[in-house]
Structures are given as C-alpha cells and as structure tokens.
Structure 1
Amino acid sequence: MLDIKRVLLDEHNSIESIAHKIPPTFFQTGGVIINFFGNEKIEKSAEIFVNFFGNRIPILLNADTVVTKENGIIGQKVFFDTNFVSNLPKYFSSDRYKLKNDKNNEVIRIEKIIEDVINKYNCSYDFNFIFFENMREYENDSFHPIRKIAAMLVLKEVIDNKNMEFRDIRFFDDIDKIEKYIGESKELWKSYLESEMMQVFKVNHILHYLVLLRFYTIYWRNPNQSDEDIFNGLVSFVKKNFKKIPIKSLYFCWKILKIYKSNLNSNDFSMFTEKPLMSLKTKSLKRLHALSWDTYSYRFFETFSTEKFEDKPNFVYLPLLTSLDNNMVKTINNCPVKAIYYHPASLNVEMVFDDEKEFSIFFSKYAERYYSGYKPFTAVETDEDTQKYYSLVAVLEELCEGMLSFRKKSIFNT
C-alpha cells in the first residue's frame, strides 16, 4: 500500500496517468482510489451548505472505471456541524425561542439546513460522528449526548418522510412522545459503545490526541525553539511510547508548526491559530481537545469511501456537503485533499493531503534517525498499551496545568 501512496503523492492530471502507474492487481482485487483533481465546482456564497473538499471534484477509480474510462458514482452525504446537533433538542421544544438573540438567529439556520436537505439535495446524511464526538461526555454520565441522538432520530423521521411541517414538532415537551426516542437513543449508544468500530476509533483518537498534546507541551514551553528541536522531542517521545508510527498525527503537527513559523495568514487557518492554541492559556486544553476531534475527523471521513450499496460496486459515499462554520471550512479548504485510497484485503483506507510529499521529505531524516529498523504492520497494540496512552495523557495534561500555574505565579510576582 505504500507503493500506492507514493504514486498518489505525485502530480496527476488524468485517470490514465494514475492507472498507468498503479499495479493492475490493486484494482483487480478490489482496490479503490478517489482522486481530487484540480477541477472546481463553483458554489454560491449564499449556500448554507458548502463543499467540504474545497470545491475539488472527486473522481472514482476502480477496476470497472479504469477499464471503461468512465467515472464511478460518488454519493454525497451531509455532515452536520456540532452546534446544529447540540441545538436540536431545544429546537424541537417550546424553548426554541432561546436559540434567538440580537446577534444570531439559530432557528433560521436550523430550518434552512433541514429544508435544503429535504428539498434541494435529497441526499443521505450522517450523524454517526456525533457518537464519537460526544463519547467522552457520555461516559461521564451526562444526559446531553442521549438527548442529542434522540433529537437526531426525530430529524431522521422528518427527513425520511419529507415532513415540511417539522416547525410544529415539540416532542421534547411531551414526556410520552420523547420517551420513545430517548429509549432508542440509549440502545444506539449501548450498541455503538460495544461495537468493534467504536473501540478502534476510541483508541485511535486517544493516540492522535496524545501526539498533539505532546507536540503542544513542547511548543508551549518555548515557541522560539527550532523546528528540528521540536520534532526531535516529539519523535523521540513517539518512538519511546508507541509501537507504530502515527504518521498522520505527526503530519498534522508538522502542518501546524509550519503555519505558526511561516506567519501565514491566521484567517486562512483559524482552526489552528486560536489564541489558546498559539500560547498556553486557561482554555488551551479544552481547545486542543476540540482540535484533536477536528483533525481526527478526516479518519472518520475516510470510512465513507468504503461504504457501498449492494449491487452497486461503483457507488461510494463522501461527505461532500457540510454545515460547518465558514472559518473551519476555510481552514479545511486550505489543507486540500489529494486522494483517498482503500483496499478491502488490508482494511487500509487513507486520505492523502496535497503537501504530504513535502512532509515525507521533512520526516525522512527523523525516520532514518529513529526508525531505521522499523517494520510496518508487524507491531500489535494491546489493552496495556491503551491504558498507557491514557496515563500519558493524564501526565501531560497535568504538566500543562503546572506550566500554566507557574506562569501565573511568575506574572503575579513581577
């Protein structure tokens, strides 16, 4: 699969240029590539949904499309933003008026989103990511995640039935009516938490968060360090504590460091350039945890490309539409995706970014220094490893709190 990635990191302007370099057995045995060429689909600025992939048009390549030179079908899914989901329980109640204020009318936005999904796009939608994003809160015995999924189940009925009378729904005011959805939500939460997929995502996310957390503890201590010193510290930590190389997490650390050191326009990368991320502050850990989900979401999106309809092997899904806020989408668009590739035999799916070749050149010296004898796909992580990752997170978060407390005392004593 590394050979496939090397091909995709090169520049291509046609299906033929990719297919010519990919070993035929990759496609013949079920391999799939979604490539994002430089085409641009113009969206109206007034749209409430925007193209998640920066208006790049994805092209599907598999055994059939490579032979016929025809495009496969990519179905668009809607990816709802966190605020939309969080406000749904209140929207479907008599407390709806609380979503309005002098600066913002969330009611209008929610209704526009629902109307467009039903009337304009008539497409599939996803709320699975809500489980991942709210898992930590759920495991802390909060009832809010259960209410959110219950509200999404109400929304599912609205969309599936094309119910344009949804403005009249106040189910969260009626204990008898909402109890049905609350019960279904609890069952869904139970099944998701027990699923193998959830367990894998849970472990992989804590790994990703741990890498980011270690990167920021090094960076916050002294932002004026050289790139090499920061990455030596980070890769040394990873080599000591991880059995596998978390290459995508390291890629994001490199990307963030590049943005910070290059004085790039902060408005173009606002997801990374919030003040609590640029320097250690009271809300830094909270914002870092949010960033870990934002940057980890690409892993979730990768799985869309493996979803297929029965009897429709040339049909895959992607979250082409999103209601995420413009600043976040702008950041995503400025980190363009180059391709996604997948092979069912290896269960490997990966999203490749435009500048990963530049990162691979940067990282090569660290790979040679720290991983000269490394053999990919041989290491097996255990439950003990997972517990170690959680322990390391606790230690590093405590370190951040200590650094912050020390700085506050230093300021107070000057």
Structure 2
Amino acid sequence: MTSFIISLPAASAGDAAHYDYLLSSDDGAETRSASVPLALLPPPPDRQTEVVVLLPMQALSWHQVQLPKGSLARGLTAERGASRLRAILDGLLEEQLLDEPAQLHLALQPQPVVAAPVWVVACDKAWLGAHLQALAQAGLAVSRIVPEFTPQILAQRLYVVGDEQHPMMVGARLLPSPLSASALSVQADPAGPDGLPEVVAEPAVAAQAESLFKRPVILQQRSQRLLQAAQTSWNLAQFDLVNANREQAWVQATQTLKTLLRAPQWRAARLALVALVLVNLVGLNAWALREQAALQAKRQAVRAVLGSTFPKIPVVVDAPLQMAREVAVLQRASGVASGADMEAMLAALGAQLPVTQSLTAIDYESQEMRAKAPAVAAAAAEQARVALALQQQGLSATWDGAQWVLKPGAAP
C-alpha cells in the first residue's frame, strides 16, 4: 500500500510550521520527500493511500505500568470500556506525569496484556489536536499515528540524529539528549560486547558519532527511518482520537460529495446521472401503466364471464367470490356435493386426522363446520400439518380451543 508519511514539527501548528513528508510506493521505496509549510503539502495520490502521522521523540514521554485484571475490554465491549481504561491509566500515571492527565493524550502499545508491564506513551493533547485539525482542514484524513521511535527498536539500537550543530542521540532510556560522553551512560543499557548497543547514525552526524563511540556506525537516511517507523504496528489514535478520526472521515466524505455536486469538471457526470434517473423513472412509470392495464383487462374478463354465466346478478363487487357462491347454489339445487358441504368437509378432515384422534361432536351451519376433539390429540405440529393439508384442498382449518373450525376458502 502506498504511504504518505507526515512528520509533525515540535512547534505549534501555524503558518510558520514546516512538515517533513515522505511518499512511498507499494514496495516501500521512497518516491518523494520534502519539508514544506502546511499549505504546500501535496495531496495523496489516491484514496487508497494511507496517511500516517509521525510524532517526534521530543514531544513524547514514555511510561510502563501494570494494568489491573479486567481493565482491557475486547471485542464488542472494547469501545464502551475505553473511557474506563483511560480513567485507570490516569490513576496509574498521576504521580509519573508532569502535567495533569486531562491535558495529555495517552496511548497503549499494540496488543497489550495485563500479565506483563505495558508501555504507555503521552503527549500534549492540545498540540496534537491542533496539528490534526490543521491537516484535516487541508483535506488530509489521517489513518494512523505512530511514534518516531519505539521501545522495542531502542532496546537494540542507539540512534544519532540531527545535524552537525545539534546532534542528538536516543537510546533505551527513551530520552533524547545532546550527543556527548556524559549523556552516553544515561542513554544506553549495556548490550554489545563493549558495553554499547548497535549505533545507527544519519549521514550528517555520522562522523561525530564515530568519534564519540570509537567505532564504525550504521548509516541510515532520515527518510529510511521515517519509513521504518511507519511500518510498525503502533497506532496512537486511541481514546478521544478514535472519534476524532471518524469525524475527519465524515468531513472528508462531505467534502468529496460537495466536490461532486459543485465542481465544474464533474458537470458532465452530474448531467449524465440526472438523465439516467429520469430515464429510469419514465421507464418504471410506463411499465407500471402497462401492468395496470393488463390487470384491469383480466378483471374485466372475469366480470364478463360472471355476467354472461349468471345474468341475474345486478351488481358485480367480487366476481370470483360471487361466482363461487352461485356455483355452490346450483350444486345444492342439483344434488351434487360441493366442497362447502358438511360431507365434503368431514371427509377432508377425516382423511388428515390421525387414526388415534376421534371427533366427539359435529356442528355445521352456514358453510362452517365445528368438529370437537380431545385437546390432547392436537399438538402444535399436528395442527399445522392438518391446516396446511386442508388449505391445499381449498378449506380454511383452524384449531379453536378443543375443536376444529372449517370454512371454504384459504386460511387467513
């Protein structure tokens, strides 16, 4: 994935602040870098580019704490437990922090566990918030926030950075200090064969580092170090900044929508979209009118059949129902049994009832038959089976307390 790395200046956000930026390709190679004011920061090449903000070492303070059991919520409860976890961190770090916890932004190391000490990084909340807001106003939606150095990297190497006038070194103590022999004992834990860890220096200060350490150092460009920092799994966008990132994404989506609605270069696309919507509306209305006309023609055909078959019916309200009633009258008059007769209903019900179920009483009136049966013989599954089978034969069958109720027609 292409990365757009922006290193925040230690100074406050403003027109005079310069931002170091680095654009990397998909394979992680540097493609462009510079140090410019905020107004001159280039936009990301595309929407898939990950915008990574890097916090300088001098703006951070590092602390190790032992979290109590149950303080790390996982899964669906993680977001709800964030405020509780922040309150726990405020209490654990109250004596270690120089400022009030409410004035600081705190973040945990990746994949923290309560069984071991956890690294917590702190920085000024107002300083970070001002820079993130300035980047959002410039149209840069930040994806991740990473530290310039991490305790894991500094546990193995000591870094010498800066320029010839202001060389700085950063070691396992996580405290940047001027390059000097007196500060060396503070910065490095004995790790190498001669009591010093591996030393990595930027080209501008490599000679001074070799003079102090009396041995060759590993050269590393600043851009390579920025890429290395951006590729870690750290993300300091936690607690309050989680919601801030969502708001920035919403602002970015709103700005994109406004661009699509107002920008001149999108005028042709807007007209094409409006034309497509109008064509679909006209087509849907034409199709609806055609279907309505076909349905009306079928209704007229049914009414015509009813009128020609039974001319004595003066007003047609529900042609299928009226025709069914007239057919039933003719069947009764001719002595032919119909599906609404008691014998037909009783035969249909008897064919579906289990052999163990017997009817105790039968009542038939106005094409409705009520057949009483023991309640224990009609379980819910059996009731559903019988009702479905009778429905397929054109009968509505329901279980009402201790009896079956059958009527002509489909079940409601």
- For Structure 1 versus Structure 2, the TM-score category normalised by the shorter chain is under 0.3
- Between Structure 1 and Structure 2, whose CA radius of gyration is higher? 2
Using the size of structure 2 for normalisation, the TM-score is 0.23
Which structure dedicates a bigger proportion of its chain to strand?
Answer: 2
Larger RCO: 1 or 2 (CA < 8 Å, sep 6+): 1
